[in-house]
């Protein structure tokens, strides 16, 4: 059966109901007809047999029946079921000309009914169930209108959402929920909802929004009940991420406000369960396992915040979200305030989590730098610590994102103070810590760190431009510190020739190419050239001394 399924998956993608119109604009099909009549006749016969209006529909029906049989009658054959879900069925719904006939077949309706009602299909691997749900929802591209598509999705998913709603309202939920068969059933239903959510498109948006809206409260209830079941928590978060990502751009202001409030409740609830959960007193093996679980959860939360951010970039709604008093930037910064205490430097060693975190952070600091002043000192210090970690990361893309974030902070402060405003305020000035020691402001700290980085540390030449863009506003904000750092380096040179070269290089860095004190595109380009020449001149002898 595996061989048959593999063959049908490969064959149907090319030969089942192919589009007849493959002509190009130069009329090449006429040339084929003139010089290769036998080939053209074969093509015509092929299209007549397997084309849209003839035997192709019968073959499609056979394929669907075989697919249903492999899922229902071959329980435990995971490889066979994977071929059916990921290749055969998913390949059928990729083309609208196939879906038009697919949704009219009794065999397809039987498969959808089995998916809803047959407990046999709950024995499928959870990921296969997610794929099957996605495939069934994607097939609506062949339906005539959005009303019919919405009703199809409601019929497909309403039984599952109703079960979750009913279960979340049980008085003895905490006892019942811990039973292994209940955990398995909840997990399967969440995977199915996630599959449907990931198939969201404009014609099914309304029905899938209703699906997610109906389980908002159950999701929060289950997040609390299953707080010690990491696998279920991860599924809950991933479902919310996929649902919000597919919906947020289409939601009207009132719906957006509902989704945003739900996401904030989710973040707060997760945070309350997980702050301080990982203890350094745990054994190394348990600590590693706990970190892995936490990594999956936090990555999902970061993706959720990134999806909310996308509302400011892509919005198909007819009214403004501000009409409901919803400010996405405030919401995401509050989300960062909740999530960042959970992100340790050890967790940032996971590449995907690290990339998602710094991608979100750089976006927020570039687009909404003014919101950073609303963070408390603890959250702000944590973000700065992660930025310092990211600047010295081995991944060039992570370093580039951190440098863009530093550029955004420094340029915001420079422009604001130039206009007589406070800019970053107390975050940019020095302060005394609880031990009475004077601590530098963030701009001084990063100017010192970045100068050390570009002069003495190993890095790729590809990040010099990004480093220059971050250095320029830092130097303009902290000119006295820049001059002090240059003077200290010059005085440390015992060789008069090197000392003179270094002094001239520092002078040229901020004056050559008619560099000014503005932060426009032209000035950034000039400073990039200046920094490049500066490093060529001094980096070699500075690193060898």
Q: Where are the chain's structural domains?
A: 1-17+46-142, 144-275+288-315+324-342, 431-543
Residue 185 contacts residue 222 (beta carbons within 8 Å): no
Residue 195 contacts residue 241 (beta carbons within 8 Å): no
Residue 226 contacts residue 217 (beta carbons within 8 Å): no
Return the H-helix or E-strand segment holding 432: strand 431-432
The model's confidence at residue 132, banded by pLDDT at 50, 70 and 90, is very high
Residue 399 C-alpha from the chain's centroid:
18
Rounded Cα gap, residues 312 and 319, in angstroms: 13
Residue 438: φ, ψ to 5°:
-80, 125
Which among 285, 410, 306 is positioned nearest to 358, based on CA atoms?
Answer: 306
pLDDT for 80: 93
Residue 102 contacts residue 108 (beta carbons within 8 Å): yes
Residue 290 contacts residue 282 (beta carbons within 8 Å): yes
Rounded Cα gap, residues 426 and 406, in angstroms: 17
The model's confidence at residue 434, banded by pLDDT at 50, 70 and 90, is low
Rounded Cα gap, residues 28 and 453, in angstroms: 60
The model's confidence at residue 28, banded by pLDDT at 50, 70 and 90, is very low
pLDDT for 31: 39
- Using the structure block, give the residue that is written with the tokens 């390949």: 91
The model's confidence at residue 355, banded by pLDDT at 50, 70 and 90, is very high
Q: 3-state secondary structure string, 187-244?
A: HHHHHHHHHHHHCCCHHHHHHHHHHHHHCHHHHHHHHHHCCCCHHHHHHHHHHHHHHH
Rounded Cα gap, residues 214 and 239, in angstroms: 13
Average predicted confidence (pLDDT) for the chain: 85
The model's confidence at residue 16, banded by pLDDT at 50, 70 and 90, is confident
Neighbours of 387 (CB within 10 A): 22
Kindly state the tokens that stand for 183.
């955990």
Across the range 322-331, mean pLDDT stands at 72
- Given a cut of 90, whether residue 429 has pLDDT beyond it is no
Residue 324 contacts residue 257 (beta carbons within 8 Å): yes
Which among 239, 151, 252 is positioned nearest to 197, based on CA atoms?
Answer: 239
Burial class (CB in 10 A: 0-12, 13-18, 19+), 272: exposed
Residue 439: φ, ψ to 5°:
-110, 140
Q: 3-state secondary structure string, 316-363?
A: CCCCCHHHHCCCHHHHHHHHHHHHHHHCCCCHHHCHHHHHHHHHHHHH
Per residue in 373-418, pLDDT (tens digit) is 777 777 888 888 899 999 999 999 999 999 999 999 999 999 999 9
Per residue in 228-238, pLDDT (tens digit) is 898 999 999 99
Residue 114 contacts residue 72 (beta carbons within 8 Å): yes
> Between 321 and 191, where is the model more confident?
191
CA R_g for the chain: 30
Strand partners, 432: 438
Rounded Cα gap, residues 5 and 105, in angstroms: 20
pLDDT for 241: 96
Rounded Cα gap, residues 186 and 229, in angstroms: 12
Kindly state the tokens that stand for 199.
């198939």
Across the range 171-186, mean pLDDT stands at 91
Q: What is the pTM of this model?
A: 0.84
Residue 366 C-alpha from the chain's centroid:
18
Burial class (CB in 10 A: 0-12, 13-18, 19+), 291: middle
The model's confidence at residue 341, banded by pLDDT at 50, 70 and 90, is confident
pLDDT for 63: 92
Per residue in 492-543, pLDDT (tens digit) is 888 888 889 999 999 999 999 999 999 999 999 999 999 999 999 988 888 7
Across the range 304-314, mean pLDDT stands at 87
pLDDT for 188: 93
The angle formed by the CA atoms of residues 138, 139 and 141, to the nearest 5 degrees, is: 85
- Given a cut of 70, whether residue 39 has pLDDT beyond it is no
Across the range 58-67, mean pLDDT stands at 91
Residue 386 contacts residue 346 (beta carbons within 8 Å): no
Across the range 250-257, mean pLDDT stands at 89
In sequence order, which ranges of 435-520 are alpha helices (DSSP H)?
442-456, 464-477, 479-491, 496-509
Q: Above pLDDT 90, what percent of the chain?
A: 53
């Amino acid at each position: 059966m595996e061989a048959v399924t593999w063959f049908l998956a490969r064959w149907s993608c090319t030969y089942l109901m192919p589009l007849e119109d493959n002509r190009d604009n130069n009329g090449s099909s006429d040339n084929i007809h003139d010089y290769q009549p036998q080939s053209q006749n074969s093509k015509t016969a092929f299209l007549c047999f397997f084309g849209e209006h003839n035997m192709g529909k019968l073959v499609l029906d056979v394929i669907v029946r075989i697919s249903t049989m492999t899922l229902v009658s071959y329980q435990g054959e995971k490889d066979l079921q994977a071929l059916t879900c990921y290749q055969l069925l998913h390949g059928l719904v990729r083309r609208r000309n196939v879906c038009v006939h697919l949704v009219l077949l009794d065999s397809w309706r039987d498969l959808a009914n089995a998916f809803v009602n047959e407990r046999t299909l709950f024995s499928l691997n959870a990921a296969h169930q997610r794929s099957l749900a996605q495939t069934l929802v994607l097939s609506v591209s062949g339906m005539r209108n959005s009303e019919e598509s919405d009703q199809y999705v409601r019929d497909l998913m309403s039984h599952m959402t109703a079960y979750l709603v009913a279960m979340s309202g049980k008085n003895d939920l905490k006892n019942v929920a811990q039973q292994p068969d209940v955990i398995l059933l909840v997990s399967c239903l969440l995977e199915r909802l996630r599959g449907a959510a990931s198939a969201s498109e404009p014609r099914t948006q309304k029905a899938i929004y209703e699906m997610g809206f109906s389980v908002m409260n159950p999701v929060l209830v289950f997040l609390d009940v299953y707080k010690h079941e990491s696998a279920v928590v991860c599924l809950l978060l991933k479902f919310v991420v996929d649902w919000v990502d597919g919906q947020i751009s289409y939601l009207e202001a009132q719906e957006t406000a509902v989704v945003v409030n739900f996401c904030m409740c989710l973040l707060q609830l997760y945070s309350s369960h997980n702050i301080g959960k990982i203890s350094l007193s745990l054994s190394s093996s348990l600590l590693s396992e706990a970190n892995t679980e936490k990594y999956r959860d936090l990555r999902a939360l970061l993706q959720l915040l990134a999806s909310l951010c996308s509302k400011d970039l892509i919005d198909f709604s007819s009214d403004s979200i501000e009409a409901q008093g919803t400010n996405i930037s405030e919401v995401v910064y509050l989300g960062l305030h909740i999530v960042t205490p959970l992100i340790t430097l050890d967790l940032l060693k996971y590449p995907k989590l690290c990339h998602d975190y710094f991608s979100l952070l750089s976006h927020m600091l570039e687009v909404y730098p003014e919101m950073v002043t609303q963070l408390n000192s603890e959250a702000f210090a944590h973000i700065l610590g992660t930025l310092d970690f990211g600047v010295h990361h081995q991944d060039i893309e992570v370093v580039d994102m951190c440098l863009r974030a530093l550029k955004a902070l420094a340029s915001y402060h420079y422009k604001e103070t130039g206009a007589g405003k406070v800019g970053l305020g107390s975050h940019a000035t020095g302060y005394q810590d609880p031990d009475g020691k004077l601590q530098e402001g963030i701009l001084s700290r990063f100017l010192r760190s970045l100068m050390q980085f570009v002069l003495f540390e190993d890095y790729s030449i590809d990040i010099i431009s990004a480093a220059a863009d971050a250095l320029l506003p830092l130097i303009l904000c902290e000119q006295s510190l820049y001059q002090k750092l240059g003077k200290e380096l010059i005085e440390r040179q015992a060789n008069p020739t090197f000392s003179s070269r270094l002094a001239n290089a520092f002078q040229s860095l901020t004056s050559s190419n008619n560099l000014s004190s503005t932060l426009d595109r032209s000035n950034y380009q000039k400073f990039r050239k200046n920094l490049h020449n500066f490093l060529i001149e001094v980096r070699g002898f500075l690193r060898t001394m």
